[in-house]
Amino acid sequence: SMPPNWSYEQDMELGRFLYDITERDQHFKDCVKDHLSGIEVSSQLDDFKLSNLTDNQADTFWESNGSPGQHWVRLHMKKGTVIKNLWLMLNVNINSYIPRRVAVYGGPASRLQHLRTVLINESSYQDVCILRDMKTHMPVLEIRILECREQGYNVRLRGIKFKSFWERDLNLNADMFQTAQLVRYPLLEGVDMDVLYHRATVIQRY
């Protein structure tokens, strides 16, 4: 239920406050560098290695060197990190090397669970979001390339990027709502910390 004398405008301001404290720093962070502990691939060509997936270069790519349907990229995440959104950066020079259908699995390495399967639009030639709005830590995320366009044999990816957080930054606590933090949010000033905390837990569920 709504706190006494609470307004829709205060909900909006509280939402803005929560966004600011969890996301404002992310725009300046290299999430891959900060939160990725390791990366593996199913196979690679000598000149197109897995390091190309995270080098932020537009003209490099990873190319698999194996059987169709057997290609994968495995991300090992640092303990306590949460990948919120995950993108594949497509290499579009040759159509048959572009993924058509991918599946994402996550969890402990020994117990990966299917999260979602994505059919990539045939007209997509840019970055494709294959996972969104995750809220829990996954030690391993595995991207399986189920098929490529035009029955292509191998796959090329220009890169992988993701937006991620430390789990602790997503956990609300009443101390977040101390007066000094609320200076830029006049509609929240003077409201009891516990009231703000409990209202924030309601908002964050949506």
pLDDT of residue 104: 98
pTM: 0.74
Tell me what pLDDT residue 28 has.
Answer: 47
pLDDT score recorded for residue 2: 80
Tens of pLDDT, residues 132-165: 988 888 999 999 999 999 999 999 999 999 988 8
Q: CA 148, 152, 158: angle at the middle one, nearest 5?
A: 60
Predicted pLDDT at 55: 92
Q: Is 177 left (phi over 0), alpha (psi -120 to 50) or beta?
A: alpha
Predicted local confidence at residue 41, as pLDDT: 98
Residue segments in the chain with a per-residue pLDDT below the cut of 70: 1, 22-29, 168-171, 204-206
Per-residue pLDDT at 206: 57
Among 64, 54, 75, 132, smallest CA distance to 98 is for 64
In the block, tokens 């891959």 appear at: 32
Give pLDDT, residue 26: 55
Identity of the amino acid at 97? Y
Q: For residue 22, give every residue at least 6 positions away whose Cβ sits within 8 Å of its Cβ, in sequence order, or none.
A: 165, 169, 170
Considering all CA atoms of the chain, what is the largest pairwise distance in Å, rounded to the nearest integer? 65
pLDDT tens digits, one per residue of 2-15: 888 899 999 999 98
The hierarchical CATH code for the domain 30-166 is 2.60.120.260
Is there a contact between 82 and 164 (Cβ–Cβ < 8 Å)?
yes
Whole-number pLDDT of residue 133? 82
Query: What pLDDT is attached to residue 170?
Result: 63
